[in-house]
Structures are given as structure tokens and as C-alpha cells.
Homo-oligomer: A and B are copies of this chain.
Amino acid sequence: MTIDLESISSPARVASPEEGISADELRLAARNHGMPLESLHWDITPAGLHYLLIHYDIPAIDPTTFELVIDGVVGSPLSLDLDAIRSRPKVTAVVTLECAGNGRARLLPRPVSQPWLTEAVGTARWSGTPLLGLLQEAGIAEEAVDVVFTGADHGIERGLEQDYQRALPVTEALREDVLLAYEMNGAPLPPQHGAPLRLVVPGWYGMAHVKWLRRITLVAQPFDGFQMRAYRLRDTPDEPGVPVTRIEPRALLVPPGFPDFMSRRRVVRSGPVRIEGRAWSGWAPVSKVEVSIDGGDTWEPADLERAQASHGWARWTWTWQSELGSYVLACRATDASGRTQPLGQRWSRGGFANNTIQRVPVIVISSEM
């Protein structure tokens, strides 16, 4: 019997216009999870509420026998156990991570993959040692152009058996704020976030932050592995497209009032309502957040607090004098590079980097009801 691995993978496709969420998408949604939006209330996302996107299975790695290898075009390859990594200088950084596919399930037509609505985000306090120091210790050859990060997670995508692998250009990998993290929010990294060691690349979408990191390889040719070809902005499967890199600006608000269990529609009692949310961008600090109660037709400025960390989200607030009726709350972030959020959709075949504004329908009822 011959088994064709391609027959095991579901083909890449876009859902037909009236098609409900498929069994493939549900299987992913039942495993992975977003951050419930009321969690925007916390500066640091409590453990277990941070979004999770796991391509294959969560590996169970024994930290006592774990080794990280640094090899390729280096002066002297390194092999380091966890104690050796922990004995290096320790840095802690607050970083907002977002899945490149956040918002995918709101696109029309809908690319079939993990069906995120708007909640694939989280902010954690990551502690570890700078990658730069270890690369310098290994000695970076002049011909190095890419740094390839290999995880211990193993699976198939589009018929190709693989360990999860992503590369950074050497110039990005040598940034001082790129970390090999072994702690999250002051505790050892949980299994689902890459224990015992993961990469953190502040400002980049989640696919770059390789989890269960086991090997770092410097290469003299641009790395063209599966995940480099998958995470690209393109309209059709055949065009080369543009790599997905940094996080586009986004603001999200805590849905006010209280929800219906099933529809998640929101109900607010009339009167002043404090609206709070967070905003972030991987390109530049957020410079402005605006709020709308008519779904984006008109906008008012929100009060924006300074972000507590260069790659963490910034808190913002706005007071709504709510009156009886039906509204669609929306918010929009603009960053210092001039990037902002579109009111319409920014479609791509993979559903990546689409930062359409959030829209939250709200019913205001009498405060005496």
C-alpha cells in the first residue's frame, strides 16, 4: 500500500459564500483559543487567557535533558542545556503578541483555516536571555543572511511532513530585544506556550515567535521553508506575495454591559458608560485611538495612555453618554508611522494581517429596567 501524505492534508481553499464553519475549522477552534475580550481589562493577560495557535501537537519536553543547538555558518557551534541558558543575562519584556490570522473568519470570502474573529491576541511578561549574546558567543559568519529557528513540534501541512521552522533575516535576529524566553508572567513557560524555551520577536506577528525551540541555524542562503511560503500576503495561490512580518495597528474595546450567552449581543443600561480598551502596533507607537457609536461613520478621540513597554499595548478610555437605542461601537488605532485600520476588509488568500476595525453591536435599555 502506498500512502500519499498529500491525501492526508486538507487542500487550501476559500469557503463558498453561504458556507458555515467547516468540520476542519471547528477542530482547530476547539483546540486553539482567543483571548476573551473582557481580558483587555488587565495590563498583563493572566495565564491561560492569552491567545494560542498551535500548528501540530504540544510536545511534552523533558527540561532536564533539553538541549538547544546553535549551528550553521558560525565560528563554533554551541549546545546548551537549560541551566546554561538561565546562567546568561536575564531580561524581562512586556510584549503584545497577535496571530497573523486574527480576524480571518470575518473576511468574505473566508479563507479556511483557524477561524479567528477578533480575539487572537495577548500581552505577557516574557523573561529570558537575549538571542544576540548567544549568537555572538557562537560567532556569526560574514556570509550569514538568515537565522532559522526549529521547533520540536512536528506535523504535516499541505502534504509536507515537517518540524515547525521559521527564519528571521540576520538584521532582525541581531536586534537587542529578541529573546529566548523561558518564563511567562514570572512563572516557567507553560507547555502550550513553548516550554521549555521559545523565541520572542517583539513587534512581529505570532508565527515568528517559534515555540519549543530546539535548534538555531545560521544559513548563507535565504531560507525558503514551508512556513516562509505560507505566511505571505497574496490574492491568489500562484503569486509570490509579500512576507507577513510586523503587526498592523489595532484597537480593541472591552464589550460593555452584559452579554447574551449564545448570540454574545451586548446590553447596557442607559447613562454614562466607561469604555476601555487597548491598542498596539508592531511598526511604531500608537499615536491615536478613536471611538465610534455608529459603526464607523463618525469618530471621537479616546484618551490614550502611554504604553508601559515599547512592544506592549496601550490602554485607552472613553466615556459614552448612552441613551436608549441600538448602536454599533467601533474603535480605530493609528500609529506614529501613519498606519491605521481600514473600515472595510483587507483581504488576502491566507487571511493574514487584516486589521479591519472591531464592531460591537450594543442595545441600550432603560436604567430602571
Binding site for B on A (CB under 8 A): 1, 3, 5, 8-10, 19-22, 24-34, 36, 38-39, 41-42, 46-50, 52, 54-58, 60, 105, 112-113, 115-117, 119, 154-157, 161, 190-193, 255, 258-265, 267, 324-325, 363, 365, 369
Query: Is the beta-carbon distance between B116 and A190 smaller than 8 angstroms?
Result: no
Give the residues in chain B near A267, CB-CB below 8 Å. 5, 8, 156, 161
Contact A259 B156 (CB under 8 A): yes
For A55, the chain B residues whose CB sits under 8 A away are 261
Contact B363 A8 (CB under 8 A): yes
User: A115 and B8 in contact (CB under 8 A), knowing A38-B58, A192-B36, A363-B3?
Assistant: no
Q: A26, B105: Cβ atoms under 8 Å?
A: yes
Residues of B within 8 A of A39 (CB): 58, 191
A260 close to B26 (CB less than 8 A): no
Are B119 and A155 touching (Cβ within 8 A)? no
Which of A10, A27, A50, A261 has the most chain B CB atoms inside 10 A of its CB? A261
Q: Which of B21, B36, B46, B54 contacts A20 (CB 8 A)?
A: B21
Nearest Cβ distance between residue A270 and chain B, in whole angstroms? 10
Give the 8 A-B residue pairs with the shortest CB-CB distance, closest first.
A20-B20, A33-B33, A48-B48, A21-B21, A29-B29, A10-B262, A10-B263, A156-B260
Cβ–Cβ < 8 Å partners of A192 in chain B: 36, 46, 48-49
Asked if residues A21 and B30 are in contact (CB atoms below 8 Å), the reply is no
Residues of B within 8 A of A156 (CB): 258-261, 267
B residues within 8 A CB of A9?
260-263, 265
What is the CB-to-nearest-CB distance from A219 to chain B, in angstroms, rounded to a whole number? 24
Contact A365 to B3, CB < 8 A, known contacts A57-B38, A263-B9: yes
Closest to A41 in B: B60
Copies in the complex: 2
- List the B side residues contacting A49 at CB < 8 Å: 58, 190-192
Residues of chain B contacted by A117 (CB below 8 angstroms): 26-27, 30
Taking CB atoms, residues of chain B closer than 8 Å to A27 are: 117, 263-264
A259 & B56 in contact (Cβ 8 Å cutoff)? yes
- Inter-chain contacts of A34 with B (CB < 8 A): 30-31
Q: How far apart are the CA atoms of A190 and B255 in the complex, in Å?
A: 21
Q: Judge whether A155 and B8 touch: CB under 8 Å.
A: no
B26, B38, B154: the one contacting A29 at CB < 8 Å is: B26
How many angstroms between the C-alpha atoms of A261 and B365 in the bound complex?
45
Smallest distance from the beta carbon of A260 to chain B beta carbons, Å?
A: 4
Residues of B close to A116: CB separation below 8 A: 30
Closest to A112 in B: B262
Distance to closest chain B CB from A105 (angstroms): 6
B residues within 8 A CB of A190?
46-49
A-B contact pairs, 10 of them (CB 8 A): A5-B267, A9-B263, A33-B52, A36-B58, A38-B60, A49-B191, A57-B255, A113-B262, A155-B260, A156-B258
Question: Contact: B56 with A261, CB < 8 Å?
Answer: yes
B155 contacts A24, C-beta separation under 8 Å = no
Q: Given the known A-B contacts A21-B25, A57-B259, are A32 and B31 also in contact in the complex, defined by CB atoms under 8 Å?
A: no
- Given A26-B117, A56-B258, A155-B261, do A31 and B36 touch, yes or no (CB 8 Å)? yes
